[in-house]
Amino acid sequence: MPNATGRSHLMDIDTSRPVWDRFFTVAPLVLIGTCDPDGSHDFAPKHMVTPMGWQNYFGFVCSPSHSTCANIQRNGEFTVSYPKPSQVLYSSLAASPRLEGHKPVLDYFTTFAAREVDAELIEEAYLYFECRHFKTINGFGPNCLITGEIVAAYAEPEFLRSSELDDQELVHDSPLLAYLAPGRFATIDRSNAFPFPAHMKK
């Protein structure tokens, strides 16, 4: 039976509840680092993340009830670590619940201090951002969009694009971790050049 669009091959998705668990979408997976009120450091995995335009702005979806949001509102800064495929379990464990205000699993994380902000980053990731809070936009149901300006960025050299190395070779030699929401992940080690129209501009 055709759906409302008249396209018989399409299936309607019930929008009276969130649609996101009915299909898979591809997203990055990052660990957001913040500093708790007692000075300890916290990490939270996030996949609803994106550049905010073409300049050095970064954003991610969070909940005002989470410590990540409270820490950023209080301290005005956070870090972003992009883990490798080999760190998927490590990244998942960062979502472990707190016990008496502390995540015991974080005691086993190897981290290092950021240079420009008061937060930590995880060892062995491939890309890092240090961000100062730009603005938080509330009102996305129970969620908010937190944005920051990137004030420092660095990466493992083998993950950086170079005129001396073909992009496909780079992706093959240094695979990327993708989160397939909801609840799966993939290793990306193959890619193709996107067929942009001639003279296309940003």
3 band by pLDDT with thresholds 50, 70 and 90 = low
- 105 occurs within a structural domain: yes
Domains in the chain, number:
1
- pLDDT tens digits along 154-177: 999 999 999 889 999 999 999 999
- 73 occurs within a structural domain: yes
Query: Cα(125)–Cα(79) distance, rounded to whole angstroms?
Result: 12
- pLDDT tens digits along 24-63: 999 999 999 999 998 888 899 999 999 999 999 999 999 9
Residue 202 near residue 54, CB atoms below 8 Å: yes
- 189 occurs within a structural domain: no
Residue 71 near residue 43, CB atoms below 8 Å: no
- Residue 103 above 80 pLDDT? no
- 173 occurs within a structural domain: no
- 179 occurs within a structural domain: no
Query: Cα(46)–Cα(179) distance, rounded to whole angstroms?
Result: 10
- Residue 98 above 90 pLDDT? no
Residue 23 near residue 37, CB atoms below 8 Å: no
What CATH number is attached to the domain comprising 111? Answer: 2.30.110.10
Task: State the pLDDT at residue 200.
Answer: 78
Q: Supply the range of the domain harboring residue 29.
A: 25-158
- 99 occurs within a structural domain: yes
- 164 occurs within a structural domain: no
- Residue 76 above 80 pLDDT? yes
- 71 occurs within a structural domain: yes
